[in-house]
A and B are shown apart, each in its own frame.
Chain A
Amino acid sequence: MTTLAATVDTPAAPSRRRVRAFLAIPQGLAGSILLVLLLAVVIIGPFVAPYGENQIEGAPLQGPGGQFWLGTDTYGRDIFSRLLYGGGSVILLPLISISLAMLVAVAIGLLAGYLGGWLDLIVTRIIDVALAIPSYLTALVVVSAFGTSGTVVVVTVAVIYAPYIIRVLRAATQTISPREFVLAARARGERLRWILFREILPNIGPTLLVEIALRLTYAVMFIASLSFLGLGVQPPSPNWGVMVAENRLLLLVHPAGVIVPALMIGVLAIAVNLIADALTQFFGDRLHGRLMV
């Protein structure tokens, strides 16, 4: 037994090694760089914008030039400044939405997966129904009933995405629940809360993380689409989706006003998606022992 200490070396600073291993995956590196750049734009943007978000600065529909880098829109507002202001809601709304969905989904998914029985039956039936309804239709109905505020959009998107997350978490919980360490906890008479959150949840953490990243990608696109359709963030707010909608009629005359905000949404979605991809690979490698972190 004395030889043990020598044979197993103590892992040094595991979190740093994990980050390094994650960034060693090409998608992880690319996604992280893109995301950091975008966040920089969104956070610093409002402070460095040459003009205000809704200030009418010049003649409408000017082309890109020295004074207005990306030109002006129909009202003569500077598109570049609006771009710098408009990222906050594009990133924040999906984040809040998915966090909300996650809170509900973790509770329901864990309970249904662990307890099974009639609760599980009811939950799965509801999910089946929920997944059968087209998400745009749900959004349309809710928004036309409750109006278009940020809160409504956030809650609607949370309600739409929660069933997907519940389904994944429920399945993951079901594979962990019959494991012997969970049985041991049950035999000890541990409380339900301990079993769910201390025994099971850490073991489905990877699944949860990947799911968060993936749903975030969809939510970014979805909320931007809703804004484009006029169901989400309302003008004159400078949301990127709203900007695409406002300027879309001028696409041929004045392409920058549509393409650049659309591009920003695309890059954000791609960045989050790359990270989701890298997380999947990272946890898969760790699971199969290809990575010792």
Chain B
Amino acid sequence: MSASVDTQRGAGLIRAENLSIAYGSGPHVTQVLHEVTLALAPGTITGLAGESGSGKSTLALALMGYRPSGQQVLSGRVDLDGSRVTGSSVRALHKLWGARLAYMPQDTSTSLNPALTIGAHFVEVLRRRGGRRTAAQRAAGWMGRVGIPEPRLALRRYPHQFSGGQQQRIALALALCLEPEVLILDEPTTGLDVVTQAQVNRLIVALARDTGVAALYVSHNLALLATVCDDLAIMYAGQIVEHGPVREVYRAPRHPYTSALISAVPSISASAPPRGIPGLARTSAATGECGFLDRCPLRVDGCASPIPLVEVSDGHVARCIRTAEVPAPGVQAARTAADREPGDPSVLITVTELTCQFQRRGGGAALRAVDGVSVTVTAGRTLGIAGESGSGKSTLLKAMAGLVRPTEGRMSFRGTDLHGLAAGRPLAVRKAIQIVFQNPDATLNPRHTIGQSMERPLRLFAPRTGRTERHRLIVEMMQQVQLSPVLLERYPRDLSGGQRQRVAIARSLLAEPEVLLCDEVTSALDVSVQASIIELLIGLRDQRRLALVFVTHDLGVLRSIADDAVIMQNGQVRETGPVAGVLAHPTDPYTVRLIDAVPHPETDLPAAPHHGTLHEPATES
């Protein structure tokens, strides 16, 4: 299985050869793929990892022969079993799609037609082979195979009657039901909760093994790919920079980018904070030089010329001229709260038996988003709050920020009661408690320049500051979050997601808060950007003795930034304690389930075939 990675010479079932693709026309051409060669072998799952803009989705679609409008193939080709896919007529492609080449998209809400029953979806696909008569039977068989209970009844239901995880299972069954030779999975579990994600991934691996399909699993989640795939290909700036057996690539990467990317993945078992990659990722393909050049710690003069793929061992290639010197993915010395400068562990916020209840529309029982929760926030430490979506973790945070009025319980700041709404709190308290949000697209007013946004907390909380002094403070803060003061004149749309998140953090810090509430501040970001934001927050916390409250759904992120952890489910606290203890020795069954679901490359890597149960009960909700 592992000998099938011969990117340069080997045949493979489906194969992209020197593929270069660009978007746009005339002077606005952006090349997104540059001379990509990739072969997939039957019975193998190849992982394709890369950050946004690396070209991984373009490559996945190109393998299908799909050509969106505005796209042009500059050179190269895709072959399926020796016959050409690129440039085929639409009619020819329609014969290939489903039957030989199958695609499973990320978002079932757009791939399944809400007006059709699941059975109708199957008939649509199956009638092309074997006729309608046997279709129902075969469809029911496949529904059973992907673990949908009562398959025959399920065929009569509509997509919305299934949970997100079940919809993905159905999409998988639809992709596989004509027994294709190639299966392209584009972030198939990205929108799902971690427990459901693990179940669906086990199913994907089991079915791929079972059917002997040549699968390409595209994901931004490196840890996940490491536990699911046989081979791993890493994309950067429109090129495949490294490709080989997953164990080798993940354990001993031979390209500086791979190494840096793996170092950026927060791990649930190591307390070392993930490391960010300095600089910004390029958004177009690198054509004449190494694409990673300007961010690479190992760069030499020779890097500016086109770099060939170098075979570092059997079936393992890397696009670097210094493969031998690439460091192993770094583990920094662990820093825990105890190692940090001891200060007075003063309690800042106390939340006691807090309940936030929402009235449902059209009556019915009220929803208790937060249900009798008690936590304490301490200066200089991070309180991490984790849980799946709907666990109430964000509502709890918003209550502390004064954005959601609690229905019961009390909150206090430095011993005095906290008003339920921010507008009712004194200026000093509003100044001391600041919040940063999840979505970098919405966190800054699109109609205000960065400078205007940054100025606001100063005007509000330090109204006596003069104009020049304000400007000095803002510039200083920009530098502290590693942003160029040039950006102050720009609007949010001119900034990347990571930059916007830095501005949002800087804006909060200008108020000189004592508590910084972070609501999933990294979950919309690429892993390397996430790592640099985590680094930044940890640095600021230690430097300013900030109390951080960090809400996240990612236990790896929780491990890397939190000192104390709170695990929530359905509005209630399931488990609480020091983060290392909670994650290493969970006592609550829910915590155990959550931790088991996290992909764990450190222990799962030895690529023994996964034993996924095919008929596991669909427990996801």
Residues of A whose CB lies within 8 Å of any CB of B are 1-5, 7-8, 10, 179-181, 183-190, 199, 202-203, 205
Known: A3-B294, A4-B484, A181-B445. A186 touches B423 (CB 8 A): yes
Q: How far is the CA of A199 from the CA of B448 in the complex (A)?
A: 8
Instruction: State the Cβ distance, A211 to closest chain B Cβ, in Å.
Output: 18
Contact yes or no, A180 B422, CB < 8 A: no
B38 within 8 A of A: no
Instruction: State the Cβ distance, B67 to closest chain A Cβ, in Å.
Output: 21
Contact yes or no, B446 A203, CB < 8 A: yes
B296 within 8 A of A: no
- Collect the chain B residues with CB atoms within 8 Å of residue A189's CB: 402, 422-423, 425, 427, 430, 460
Known: A180-B437, A183-B437. A190 touches B447 (CB 8 A): no
Contact yes or no, A187 B422, CB < 8 A: yes
- Collect the chain A residues with CB atoms within 8 Å of residue B487's CB: 4
Interface residue ranges of B392-420 to A (CB < 8 Å): 398, 401-403
B99 within 8 A of A: no
- Collect the chain B residues with CB atoms within 8 Å of residue A1's CB: 279, 482-484
Q: How far is the CA of A203 from the CA of B401 in the complex (A)?
A: 24
- Collect the chain B residues with CB atoms within 8 Å of residue A184's CB: 435, 437, 443, 504, 507
Contact yes or no, B403 A183, CB < 8 A: yes
Contact yes or no, B442 A180, CB < 8 A: yes
Known: A3-B279, A189-B422. A180 touches B443 (CB 8 A): yes
What 1/0 mask marks residues of chain B from 462 to 488 whose CB sits below 8 Å from any chain A CB? 000000000000000000001110110
Contact yes or no, B430 A187, CB < 8 A: yes
Instruction: State the Cβ distance, B569 to closest chain A Cβ, in Å.
Output: 25
Known: A3-B279, A3-B294, A4-B486. A187 touches B435 (CB 8 A): yes
- Collect the chain B residues with CB atoms within 8 Å of residue A188's CB: 422, 430, 456-457, 460, 511
B438 CB contact (under 8 Å) in A5, A180, A186? A180
What 1/0 mask marks residues of chain B from 260 to 294 whose CB sits below 8 Å from any chain A CB? 00000000000000000001100000000000001
B401 CB contact (under 8 Å) in A7, A179, A187, A199? A187
Chain B interface residue count, Cβ-Cβ cutoff 8 angstroms: 40
Q: How far is the CA of A187 from the CA of B457 in the complex (A)?
A: 11
Instruction: State the Cβ distance, A286 to closest chain B Cβ, in Å.
Output: 10
Contact yes or no, B486 A5, CB < 8 A: yes
A179 CB contact (under 8 Å) in B427, B442, B456, B507? B442
B378 within 8 A of A: no
Contact yes or no, B484 A5, CB < 8 A: yes
- Collect the chain B residues with CB atoms within 8 Å of residue A181's CB: 442-445, 453
**Closest chain A residue, CB of each to CB of B487:** A4
**Closest chain B residue, CB of each to CB of A181:** B445
Residues of B whose CB lies within 8 Å of any CB of A are 279-280, 294, 398, 401-403, 422-423, 425, 427, 430, 433-435, 437-439, 442-448, 453, 456-457, 460, 482-484, 486-487, 489-490, 494, 504, 507, 511
Contact yes or no, A3 B280, CB < 8 A: yes
Instruction: State the Cβ distance, A180 to closest chain B Cβ, in Å.
Output: 4
- Collect the chain A residues with CB atoms within 8 Å of residue B484's CB: 1-2, 4-5
- Collect the chain A residues with CB atoms within 8 Å of residue B438's CB: 180
- Collect the chain A residues with CB atoms within 8 Å of residue B507's CB: 184
Contact yes or no, A199 B422, CB < 8 A: no
Contact yes or no, B494 A8, CB < 8 A: yes
Q: How far is the CA of A186 from the CA of B460 in the complex (A)?
A: 12
Instruction: State the Cβ distance, B62 to closest chain A Cβ, in Å.
Output: 24
The 7 sampled A-B contact pairs (Cβ below 8 Å) are A1-B483, A4-B280, A184-B443, A184-B504, A190-B456, A199-B445, A202-B448
Q: How far is the CA of A202 from the CA of B445 in the complex (A)?
A: 9
- Collect the chain B residues with CB atoms within 8 Å of residue A3's CB: 279-280, 294
Instruction: State the Cβ distance, B436 to closest chain A Cβ, in Å.
Output: 8
**Closest chain A residue, CB of each to CB of B453:** A181
Q: How far is the CA of A190 from the CA of B445 in the complex (A)?
A: 14
Q: How far is the CA of A174 from the CA of B280 in the complex (A)?
A: 35
- Collect the chain B residues with CB atoms within 8 Å of residue A179's CB: 442
The 4 A-B pairs with the shortest beta carbon distances in the complex, nearest first, are A202-B447, A180-B437, A189-B430, A180-B442
**Closest chain B residue, CB of each to CB of A190:** B460
Instruction: State the Cβ distance, A164 to closest chain B Cβ, in Å.
Output: 25
| Most-contacted residue by chain A among B294, B446, B482 (CB, 10 A) | B446
Instruction: State the Cβ distance, A156 to closest chain B Cβ, in Å.
Output: 35
- Collect the chain A residues with CB atoms within 8 Å of residue B482's CB: 1
Instruction: State the Cβ distance, A4 to closest chain B Cβ, in Å.
Output: 5
**Closest chain B residue, CB of each to CB of A199:** B445
Q: How far is the CA of A216 from the CA of B460 in the complex (A)?
A: 39
**Closest chain A residue, CB of each to CB of B478:** A1
Q: How far is the CA of A2 from the CA of B486 in the complex (A)?
A: 10
| Most-contacted residue by chain B among A8, A10, A181, A190 (CB, 10 A) | A181
